[in-house]
């Protein structure tokens, strides 16, 4: 028996927000002081560091759970299964359902239960719950699904990553340009086919690193200090990721028994182009091996950072031949990897 991804789906919002849209923003430093550089310079530097030229925002009438349900419908269709046969729905997110124009998060009932309702699944033994694990949430959800299946508690799970980060960003913060909305979903099940999940690795660094990402007040000090937005210490996250993610990926790959030369693709969380490139470079340096050309597909340039949705969305784009120059073939070895708020790190070695 192997545990495989048998269906993939995603929902990429229709609203495109280009970098040029931020030319009119009033960006401020964290202490509320004005930034001496012009917006043109700020946006240009942002593009050079992150690689992002545009991102997607959810339509006003849709919430995070709506995006998750739309992606789930596609994954169920791709797997060609009866949704009533799903044993677990695991939905990774970070901020719940935040309505357009609102400042309050809604997580009652949990988003996974809302998705189950949207999918019209009647089976009460289909257990639906949320996972809060920062950007690595979808990867961790897949690891949990595998554990249920290996333990005999489930045969088939639906794992979703969905987020509407555009609704929790501070418009006065330059980092607001990073974030986007989207959803990706996968069906995980036991199968007689070869391959599937070969190994995994997870870690939580919560001593000095726990508040590298946090909820804080606006850079505009005239606003209500009790209204909070997603905030981060970008340099600390960059240094943390480069120090810890490559070694976690190596531990994961070594546990699989797969040679580094047999890895065909690395699907890493789309956080920051320069950071992701540095992580992959250090990872291959651990094996004293050059980075293969085309090993790391990137969607961040057009889709931005949609947190838990980036990795499953990237998988769906490749599987559906929407990533030029990137294909997956039966037997290919993939590494999924992510880092995010917590600070959490995880990775999966997977044979397609």
Which string of DSSP letters, residue by residue, matches 141-182?
Answer: HHHHHHHHHHTTS-SEEEEEEEEEGGGS--TTSGGGGTB-EE
Question: Please, which residues have CB within 8 angstroms of residue 162's CB and are 6 or more apart in sequence?
Answer: 11, 64, 65, 67, 68, 71, 91, 92, 93, 111, 182, 183, 184, 308, 309
Of 35-39, 84-88, 164-168, least confident by mean pLDDT is 35-39
**Predicted local confidence at residue 72, as pLDDT:** 98
Q: Once rounded to an integer, what is the mean pLDDT over residues 96-113?
A: 94
Characterize 100-125 residue by residue with b for buried, 16 or more Cβ atoms within 10 angstroms of its Cβ, and e for exposed: eeeeebbbeebbbbbbbeebebeeee
**Predicted local confidence at residue 232, as pLDDT:** 94
Is the pLDDT at 351 greater than 90, yes or no? yes
Question: Please, which residues have CB within 8 angstroms of residue 100's CB and are 6 or more apart in sequence?
Answer: 58, 60, 61, 167
Q: Once rounded to an integer, what is the mean pLDDT over residues 62-83?
A: 98
pLDDT grade for 1, boundaries at 50, 70 and 90? confident
Total Cβ atoms within 10 A of residue 86: 27
**Omega before 343 within 30 of 0, i.e. cis:** yes
First to last CA, the chain: 15
Phi, psi of 277 (to 5 degrees): -65, -40
Instruction: Round to whole Å and give the CA distance between 92 and 117.
Output: 17
**Predicted local confidence at residue 199, as pLDDT:** 98
Is the pLDDT at 103 greater than 90, yes or no? no
Question: Please, which residues have CB within 8 angstroms of residue 291's CB and are 6 or more apart in sequence?
Answer: 280, 281, 284
Q: Once rounded to an integer, what is the mean pLDDT over residues 13-30?
A: 92
pTM of structure: 0.95
Per-residue pLDDT reduced to its tens digit, 191-235: 988 899 999 999 999 999 999 999 999 999 989 888 899 999 999
CB distance 2 to 194 below 8 Å: yes
Per-residue pLDDT reduced to its tens digit, 110-158: 999 999 999 999 999 999 999 999 999 999 999 999 999 999 999 999 9
Average pLDDT, the chain: 95
For residue 225, give the 3-state DSSP assignment: coil
**Predicted local confidence at residue 339, as pLDDT:** 97
Is the pLDDT at 181 greater than 90, yes or no? yes
Percent of the chain with pLDDT strictly greater than 90: 90
CB distance 234 to 49 below 8 Å: no
Characterize 324-352 residue by residue with b for buried, 16 or more Cβ atoms within 10 angstroms of its Cβ, and e for exposed: eebebeeeebbbbbbbbbbbbbbbbbbbb
DSSP line for 132-150: --STTHHHHHHHHHHHHHH
Instruction: Round to whole Å and give the CA distance between 33 and 110.
Output: 39
The angle formed by the CA atoms of residues 112, 113 and 114, to the nearest 5 degrees, is 90
238's tokens:
């960059």
Query: What residue ranges define each of the domains in the chain, with the CATH number in brackets?
Result: 2-193 (3.40.47.10), 198-297+306-351 (3.40.47.10)
Is the pLDDT at 25 greater than 90, yes or no? no
**Predicted local confidence at residue 24, as pLDDT:** 84
Per-residue pLDDT reduced to its tens digit, 295-315: 999 999 999 999 999 999 999
Is the pLDDT at 255 greater than 90, yes or no? yes
């Amino acid at each position: 028996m192997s545990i495989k991804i048998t269906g993939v789906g995603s929902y990429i919002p229709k609203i495109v927000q280009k970098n040029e849209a931020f030319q009119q923003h009033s960006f401020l430093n964290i202490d509320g002081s004005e930034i001496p550089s012009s917006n043109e310079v700020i946006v240009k530097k942002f593009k050079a560091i992150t690689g992002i030229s545009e991102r997607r925002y959810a339509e006003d009438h849709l919430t995070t759970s709506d995006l998750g349900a739309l992606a789930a419908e596609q994954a169920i269709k791709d797997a060609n299964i009866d949704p009533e046969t799903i044993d677990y729905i695991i939905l990774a997110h970070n901020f719940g359902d935040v309505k357009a124009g609102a400042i309050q998060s809604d997580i009652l009932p949990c988003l996974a239960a809302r998705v189950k309702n949207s999918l019209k699944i009647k089976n009460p033994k289909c257990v639906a719950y949320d996972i809060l694990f920062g950007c690595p949430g979808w990867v961790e959800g897949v690891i949990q699904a595998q554990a249920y299946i290996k333990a005999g508690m489930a045969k088939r799970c639906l794992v979703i990553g969905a987020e509407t980060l555009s609704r929790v960003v501070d418009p006065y913060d330059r980092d607001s340009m990073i974030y986007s909305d989207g959803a990706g979903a996968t069906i995980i099940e036991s199968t007689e086919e070869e391959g599937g999940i070969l190994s995994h690795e997870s870690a939580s660094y919560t001593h000095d690193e726990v508040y590298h990402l946090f909820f804080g007040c606006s850079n505009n000090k005239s606003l209500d200090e009790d209204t909070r937005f997603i905030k981060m210490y970008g340099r600390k996250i960059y240094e943390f990721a480069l120090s810890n993610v490559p070694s976690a990926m190596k531990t994961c790959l070594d546990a699989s028994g797969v040679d580094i030369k047999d890895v065909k693709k690395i699907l890493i969380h789309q956080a920051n182009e320069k950071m992701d490139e540095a992580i992959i470079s250090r990872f291959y340096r651990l094996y004293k091996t050059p980075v293969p050309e085309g090993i790391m597909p990137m969607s961040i340039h057009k889709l931005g950072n949609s947190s838990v949705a980036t990795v499953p969305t990237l998988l769906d784009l490749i599987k559906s031949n929407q990533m030029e120059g990137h294909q997956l073939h039966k037997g290919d070895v993939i590494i999924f990897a992510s880092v995010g708020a917590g600070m959490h790190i995880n990775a999966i070695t997977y044979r397609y």
